Structure 1
Amino acid sequence: MTQLTAAVVQAGSKLFDTPAGLAKALDLMRDAAGRGAEVVVLPEAFLGGYPKGLDFGVRVGSRTPEGRETFRRYFESAITVPGPETDELGVLTRELGCHAVVGAVERAGSTLYCVALFFGPEGYLGKHRKLMPTAAERLIWGFGDGSTMPVVDSGHGRLGAAICWENYMPLFRTAMYAKGVDLWCAPTVDDRENWQATMRHVALEGRCFVLSANQYLLRSDLPGDVHPVQGDAPDTVLIGGGSTIVSPLGEVLAGPLRGGEGILVAELDLGDIPRGRFDFDATGHYARPDVFTLHVDETPRPPTRPRTP
C-alpha cells in the first residue's frame, strides 16, 4: 500500500509585513518536512495577511480616508504571482522534494485575490483564485474565474484546493470531484466548531483525504496602529485555529488543533481512497448524468479582450 505523510500548519499571518510572513512560512515548511511531511498545507491568506476585525472604513455609500490608507498598506503587502515570493517557495520545495499548498493574497493589476498556491519538487505549479469572497471580504478581494481550478498530480495523489467557504459550494465541490481530487486542501480562517462537520462531510462526499489548515491569530500579532473590532487586548484571540486532517471515510486522523500554533502530521494510507469509493463515487457510479448535469466554464474571463477579426 502507498503511504503518504501529510502536514497542516496552524499559524498566524504577518499583516503588513510580507517579508516576515514569507520567512515564517519557509521556517514552518522546513519544520513540517523535518517531521516527514511530503505534502504541507498552510492557511488562507498566510502571505499578505488576513485582516480579521478590520473594516477599512466602509459604510454603505461611503469610504473614509483612513480606510483607504489601510487598504493601501494591505495592497502593498500582497504578492505578485509568479514573483519573488513564489520563487523562494519554489526553491524550498525543490530542496525538500515535497509538495505544498500555501494561502496568499495576490496582487494583479489594481485588484487583490485570495489564492491557494501550488508547489512541488519542480517549483511553482499554479494557483487557485477564490471564486467567491465571503461577506466583507468582497470589499478587498476580487472574484476568481473557472480558469484557476487546478488539480495537481503529486505522483502519489491528486491535490486540489477549496478556500474557506468555497467548501460550502456544492457545485464547486462537484467540479473538483470530477477532476479526481484525492487530497482536498482546505486553507481557511473559519475557526467555528461546525467547520469540523464540514471537513468530515467533504471527506465523506469526495471520498478523499481532507487537509484543513487554519490560522491561529492573536491581537498582538497585528500592528499596534490598527484596531480590530474584537478589541486591543494583546491576548485577544482573533482566529482560534481548528486545523484538522480527515480520512476518506470521515475519520479524524489529526486535530482539531486549538489553543495555539502548531503542526499536525498524519500518515495517509492512499488505499483508503479506492476503499472509500467502492460504494460511493459522487461523479462516477453514484452519479445520475441522465438526471443531473453540471456545466463548468473554465475559460479565463478578463474584463477586456482583443477584438477578433
Structure 2
Amino acid sequence: MDIATGDEKPIRVGAVQAEPVWYDLDGCVDKTIQLINQAAADAAKFWASPKRGFQVPQYRADSVARDSPQMKRIQAVVKKTGMFIVLGYSEREGASIYLAQAFISPDGELIHNRRKIKPTHAERTIWGEGQAESLKTVVDSPFGKIGGLNCWEHLQPLLRYFEYTHRVQIHVLSWPSMFVMPDPEKISWLYHDIREADQRISQNMAMEGATFVICSSQILTEEGLKKNSILAGNPVTKVVHQQLQLFCLPGGGFSQIFGPDGSALCEPIGDGEEGILKADISLSDITKAKIFIDVAGHSARPDMLSLLVNTKAGKLVTMMDM
C-alpha cells in the first residue's frame, strides 16, 4: 500500500494446472522451472502448484529430498524471479515419503515445509503422516499471510479453523487430478471424489475463511496413464489404474482462483489443458468479506466452542531416568 495516498497495489497471483513428468525427477524439475519463468514473464508475484502424487511404489525414487540439488535449482529460479511460490511435491526423507508443500520466499529461501498430516485412503499405503510442525499452515510474506493445505486436508474442519485463527489472506489448495462422475453402469463412484465436489470444497474455503484461495490442480493425459500402466499389475495400483481407464482423458484439472466472498476470479481452462490461471487481487477485499463473517473474529463464540491444539512435536526416542 502507498502510505501517502492510501492506494493498495494489486497482487498478481497464479494457479498452475499441469501434469508432472512421470518418473523423471530432473524432467519434472525442469518443467517446474519452466512454469515459474512463464508466470514471472506475466508479472506474477505469487505462484502455486498442484499436489504431485500417484499411488505407486516406484514413485518413491523420484520423490524430492528437501535439501537436495533439485530443490535448490527451484529455489534459485524463485530468487531470480522474485516470486513467492507454494510448491506441492512428494518429499523424501530417508526411506519414507510425504505429501508436502514447500513455501519458498522471493529471496529463494525455503521458509517453511509442511506435510499432509493424514494421507487419504489408499495414500496411507505409500505416504507417511506429517507431525506437529505441519500444523503450521500460515507464513508471513511480502504479499500477505500465505497458507496452504493438501487435497482432502480441506475436509478437516478443525485444521481449517486453526488456519483461520492465524489470519490467512491467500490460501493455496494443492490438488491431484479429479474427474467427472463416471458411468454408473460401469462403476459405483462416490460424489465427494469427483471434480465438482472438490471445486465446491475449494470455494467453501474462500467463503468460510474470508480469504483468497488459489486452487491448483494436476491433469492426467493418455500418455501419463500409459506411463503408469506398467504398474497396473501391482496389487496397490491395480484398482486405481482400472478406475482411471473409465475416465475421459486428458482431464482431471479444475484450477481456479476464488475471492474472499467465494466468487471465481478467472475463466477456467479446459480440464485436460495445461496453463497458469492468473488474477489481480487486493487484500482489502478481505476486510469487506469479514464485515459479514469472520469465523475467528466477531463471528466466534470461544466461551462456548473452542479448539485444543497440541503443537509439541513427537520424538522417535525419549530417554527416561529410572
TM above 0.5, one fold?
Answer: yes
Aligned residue pairs: how many? 286
1:289 aligns with 2:302: yes
- Residue in structure 2 matched with residue 13 of structure 1 by the alignment: 20
Contact 1:12 1:261 survives alignment (8 Å): yes
Contact 1:2 1:271 survives alignment (8 Å): no
Contact 2:49 2:174 survives alignment (8 Å): yes
State the distance in 2 between where 1:87 and 1:254 align: 32
1:151 aligns with 2:168: no
- Residue in structure 2 matched with residue 79 of structure 1 by the alignment: 64
- Residue in structure 2 matched with residue 226 of structure 1 by the alignment: 231
> Which 10-residue stretch deviates more, 258-267 or 294-303?
294-303
CA offsets per residue over residues 100-155 of structure 1, 9 Å max, x none? Answer: 01111111122110001111122221111001111100000011122122422122
State the distance in 2 between where 1:142 and 1:256 align: 33
Match of 2:220 among 217, 236, 244: 217
Contact 2:251 2:272 survives alignment (8 Å): no
Aligned-pair CA distance for 1:307:
4.4
Q: Please, what is the CA RMSD of the aligned residues? A: 2.0
TM-score (norm 2): 0.83
Aligned-pair CA distance for 1:306:
4.5
Aligned-pair CA distance for 1:237:
2.2
Aligned-pair CA distance for 1:225:
2.8
Match of 1:247 among 259, 273, 282: 259
User: Please, which runs of 5 or more residues in structure 2 have no aligned partner?
Assistant: 1-7, 179-194, 233-240
- Residue in structure 2 matched with residue 68 of structure 1 by the alignment: none
- Residue in structure 2 matched with residue 126 of structure 1 by the alignment: 112
> Where do 1:148-227 residues align within 5 Å?
148=134, 149-189=136-176, 191=178, 192-222=195-225, 223=227, 225-227=230-232
Amino acid at match of 2:26: P
Amino acid at match of 1:263: I
Amino acid at match of 1:181: V
CA offsets per residue over residues 175-219 of structure 1, 9 Å max, x none? Answer: 101111100100101521122211111101100000010001113
Instruction: Go from structure 1 to structure 2 and tell me whether the alpha carbon gap of 1:85 and 1:156 turns closer, same or farther (over 3 Å shift).
Output: same
Amino acid at match of 1:128: R
Match of 1:26 among 30, 33, 39: 33
Contact 2:177 2:219 survives alignment (8 Å): no
State the distance in 2 between where 1:177 and 1:144 align: 20
- Residue in structure 2 matched with residue 67 of structure 1 by the alignment: none
- Residue in structure 1 matched with residue 44 of structure 2 by the alignment: 37
State the distance in 2 between where 1:253 and 1:308 align: 59
- Residue in structure 1 matched with residue 10 of structure 2 by the alignment: 3
State the distance in 1 between where 2:124 and 2:231 align: 20
State the distance in 1 between where 2:250 and 2:127 align: 20
User: Please, which runs of 5 or more residues in structure 1 have no aligned partner?
Assistant: 57-70
Match of 2:102 among 76, 99, 117: 117
TM-score (norm 1): 0.87
Partner SS state of residue 252, structure 2: strand
- Residue in structure 2 matched with residue 274 of structure 1 by the alignment: 287
1:299 aligns with 2:312: yes
State the distance in 2 between where 1:17 and 1:116 align: 19
Partner SS state of residue 250, structure 1: coil
State the distance in 2 between where 1:244 and 1:37 align: 15
